[in-house]
A and B are shown apart, each in its own frame.
Chain A
Amino acid sequence: MNVLLMGHPNVGKSVFFNRLTGASVTESNYPGTTIDYTKGYMRIGGKSVELIDVPGTFSLNPKDKAEEVAVAMLHESKDVKVICVIDASKIERGLYLALEIIEQGYPVVIALNMWDVAGDKNITININDLSRILGVAVVATTAISGEGIKELVTSLDDARPVEIDNIINNVGGLT
């Protein structure tokens, strides 16, 4: 099994990667720090699993070369699960990418990262409801201090593909 870290630029994917694999890929506070993918290994339940730090992308329609790398990584990897990292303080647009990945039939878990920043901005998110509607695990994380990382990794095991129709039903149909 391969695990991909995907999400918008500058949401903290590389911080997750370093925490999970013990590697030291460059982390910075600007979009576009990671321009190529990096592979590493982490352990889930005693098994060694390949984890891939993917360049940030806004959607699955690439607009520059770094984003092309990201989308190609997703499409070319076999037996893949995706940790979709979302900036909790900008959750809506993060969900857009998450939906795109779910639609294409990939098993996803969502990390609502920068949970502390969302709190500072007085944004409250009902994680249980969000998880119920989407049908995927949603975990509040603050990657830089390590909060939520363990729960995130545990939830990966149960990640399954979700039918987009179920999500549409759960929100009460389309307008």
Chain B
Amino acid sequence: MNVLLISAILGVVMMFSSFLIKNTATVRTIGITGTIALLILNVLEMYGTRLFNINTAGFLSFDRFTLVFISIAIIAMLVYFLLTAKDMEKVNKVNYAEYFALLFFILCGIVLVSGFESLLILFLGIEIVSIPLYVLTGSDKRNLKSNEAALKYFLMGCFSTGLMLMGITLIYGAQGTFTVELFNFTKNIDSPLAIAGMLLLLFSMAFKASVAPLHFWTPDVYDGAPTVFTSFMATIVKAAVFFSFFRLFNDSFTALAPQWQFWMAVLAALTLFIGNITAVFQHSVKRMLAYSSIAQAGFMLLAIFAMSGIAKEGLLLYAAAYSFASIGIFSVLTKMDDYTFDGFNGLVKQQPLVAAAITIFILSLAGIPLTAGFLAKFYMIQAVIQAGGHLWLAIFALVMAAVSVYYYFRVIQAMYFKQGNANIQASNTFKYTLLAVAILVVLLGIFPNLITNWLYF
């Protein structure tokens, strides 16, 4: 609750500062300070301090799980600001503060989608997340690809929003309420209204989370959008969408599980397959990361499929591991001119620290032990095996993880083993922040309790 209101206020503040403050450094400082304040407020809320006492029963609720997720999202956002806020200037200096405003509004949306108790709030949250994203995708106004991406994203996004609304309507028809707590599917479990509504919601969420076969917009949009914003879209937003996806199906549609669980497994397998196999054939790192984000989405779907405590913890860990690592790689990518794999050739000579950090991120994304990515994948596989009956899914997912090594490691090969003179303009602050994030990724990989203990204590 703290974060929801304060980030909305921060958004407005940033909007005004766009014409009051001309100095970008000041804007950046306000943004970063604001994010730190949000983090503190959220942690305070976890320990019972609420700034506002508003009764939101039946619409929003913030349990431990949700609050931990919001903390992870804010930390990721902080990391994102620290690493890439400066590069937003490259997109357009005049609108600099407005980008911050939009990002804070997205954070509002993230809070809504992760704490929803009513399908209406879910819908609102998804829209609040999406609309600023459409703007950010097209923020590079002179670039044709950015415009194309924004239009594509907008049209497809509207389509899926429509599906979602229809789904919510049907569920309302079946249940007579929007409130998740009051749902009772046990009486007429085969009600076509409820099942049709559930399926429509499944499709629309699958679209937002870029789950195959509804993923086609993802590579184009991620590729076309300015890289700074791709970074945000592909990590924090995606994690939030998954979180609400998880809550929607595991808390609200538990009773319908027999109807959707098998299809969730199929979707996960399909997403893993398409994401990983297509990523192998990419020449541009940015596009590879877009497909890899689809592949990672497949892994996160396993949590929704498995529906258990382990899956819940795993999803949090996965969200953190995936977001930190991807933000790190994207932050380097924004500083590069050449997005192909060859653009990374010989980076280690000029920037050994940056190369080392990228290596850790890559290892984490590929799921190599000692990194957070490994434990995240481990939790997912564990959840699937525990759920029982679908061992093929666990094996398939891991085989696909082995495939992912193929394209991830091409970056390492380029940086370390190939001849070249890739270089980036990186300040010392940037380098050490990047290294700190890399160390965090390793720490989470050795002591996952850092996150999971938060859930219980």
Q: Are A and B genuine complex partners?
A: no
